[in-house]
Amino acid sequence: MSGKLKWDQTGERLFETGTTNGVLYVQASDGSYPEGVVWNGLTAVTESPSGAEANDMWADNIKYGSLRSAETFGATIEAYTYPDEFGACNGEGVLVTGTGGKAAVKIGQQKRNPFGFCYRTEIGNDTATEGDDGYKLHLIYNATASPSERAYTTVNDSPEAITFSWEISTTPVDVSGFKPTASLEIDSTKLADYQLKAIEDVLYGKDASGNDAATTARLPLPDEVKTIINNATPPSP
């Protein structure tokens, strides 16, 4: 579309906010993420990519070129609590199993399992209409968590709940036609509803309905994400 550029048009003043719908996927021995569990109490996710630093080359008394170092993806996850399944990723071992098969006695300084992670942020704009709002799904692969500090303080006249915080580092996974990556972002405003439903049915699982059996939430790798979205079937007219 040609013509003079125009800024801040009604409905185009977009912003992103919120952190919701956290899901943890502990990595299996084959590198897949077969079962997702809800991560309640999620308060913040701070993405912190690093690397991609310029290394200038000089020749003939001029700047000859520039090479950039590899980029890496890291993040910080903050929450009031975490699912029991995250214990294996947090260096915890189960010494005694209690009721319901849950860890009753845990020990620390154990192996830290890799995991995948999914969370959602909201997209809004300057209009009161919510029909054009959307959200983004952020997928993180092959992450490991560093030990976190925990500050236990006495109850006083201004009590606060403990906030857990983990710095995570990642190792990229393969993507056909691209460099390996550890992060992926899905924009709901750029997909049809049926495409969005197809990928969310995998990420979040789905209940049994009619002839369709229930499915367990899992984290597909980037190439499968592409296949799921591209092969989604539109509803019958």
Question: 9 lies in a domain?
Answer: no
- The whole-model pTM stands at 0.86
Residue 17 confidence (pLDDT): 82
Question: 205 lies in a domain?
Answer: no
**What residues form DSSP beta bridges with 234?**
none
Domain count, the chain: 1
Residue 137 confidence (pLDDT): 96
SS (HEC) of the chain: CCCCCCCCCCCCCCEEEEEEEEEEEECCCCCCECCEEEECCEEEEEECCEECCEEEEEECCEEEEEEECCEECEEEEEECCCCHHHHHHCCCEEEEECHHHCEEEEECCCCCCCEEEEEEEEEECCCCCCCCCEEEEEEEEEEEECCCCCCCCCCCCCCCCCCEEEEEEECCEEECCEEEECEEEEEHHHCCHHHHHHHHHHHCCECCECCECCECCCECCHHHHHHHHHCCCCCCC
Tell me the CATH number at 153: 2.30.110
Question: 88 lies in a domain?
Answer: yes
Instruction: Collect the ranges in the chain with pLDDT lower than 50.
Output: none
Would the CA dihedral through 96, 98, 103, 104 be positive or negative? negative
Residue 173 confidence (pLDDT): 94
Question: 141 lies in a domain?
Answer: yes
Question: 105 lies in a domain?
Answer: yes
Question: 1 lies in a domain?
Answer: no
Question: 208 lies in a domain?
Answer: no
Residue 193 confidence (pLDDT): 92
Residue 208 confidence (pLDDT): 85
Residue 132 confidence (pLDDT): 58
Residue 131 confidence (pLDDT): 53
Residue 1 confidence (pLDDT): 56
Question: 5 lies in a domain?
Answer: no
Domain containing residue 38: 16-55+64-190
Residue 130 confidence (pLDDT): 63
